[in-house]
Amino acid sequence: MRIQLKSWAATQAALLLGALLSAFTVNAQTDISIGIVDMARLMDQAPQVQAANVGLNAEFAPRQREIVALQESLETKQETYQRDVAVLGETERLRLEREIQADQRDLQRQQDQFMEDSNIRRNEELANLQRMLVEEIQSYARGAGYDLVLPEALFFSGEIDITEEVLRGLEASFSASAGGP
């Protein structure tokens, strides 16, 4: 009984191997069009990414200016304290120390909130941009007749790098949406 199971398993394995080899042979005879896209380059050079960065910087610039003003005010109070600590009365010295501590806490809280809000918005924009890049890559690949497009590879020839073509499509799309030429 044991010998029969082994020969049955061997027969099944041989049939499976034969089927795989014949499928590979058929696929090897057909032309498969493969493309590679450098996602890091797209994220660096796509005009949509640059526009999103400009928009985020503009969105957070007022809060950033507010934080800088708080830092400058705090530094001024600290310099005043360091310079005048010997001549200040006890009440004035304690008041200034409390103000400095309160300003430090407020500044730290605002910096933390700014970083958190900024990171959330950047992540939202990044997700939108990545989705848009994938859609553009898929659109280009379908139109150009690619069977497979990969975002990364350890090695590839320049002949299958379609990054430049996708980037041109992104630039054209951006120009069209911005009302450019």
The CATH number assigned to the domain holding 65 equals 3.30.910.20
Judged against a pLDDT cut of 80, whether residue 1 lies above it is answered with: no
| Structural domain range at position 135 | 29-176
Q: pLDDT class for 19, splitting at 50, 70, 90?
A: low
Whether the CB-CB separation of 149 and 137 falls below 8 Å is answered with yes
Q: Does the pTM of the predicted model rise above 0.75?
A: no
On whether residue 91 sits in a domain, the answer given is yes
* 81 assigned to some structural domain: yes
Asked whether residue 18 is domain-assigned, the answer is: no
Please tell me the number of Cα atoms within 13 Å of 150 on its side-chain side: 9
- pLDDT number for residue 112: 97
The alpha helices in 30-147, defined as continuous H runs, are 39-45, 47-84, 90-144
- Contact at 8 Å (CB) between 74 and 102? no
133: in domain: yes
Count of domains observed in the chain: 1
In a domain, 65, yes or no: yes
Confidence label for 157 from pLDDT (cuts 50, 70 and 90):
confident
Q: Which residue has the tokens 């089927």?
A: 19
Name residue 109's amino acid.
R
- Does a structural domain hold residue 181? no
Contact at 8 Å (CB) between 150 and 37? yes
121 occurs within a structural domain: yes
Helices 163-177 and 47-84, axial angle in degrees (round to 10): 80
Element (H, E) at 1: none
pLDDT of residue 18: 53
Instruction: Give the pLDDT band (50/70/90) at residue 101.
Output: very high
142 found inside a domain: yes
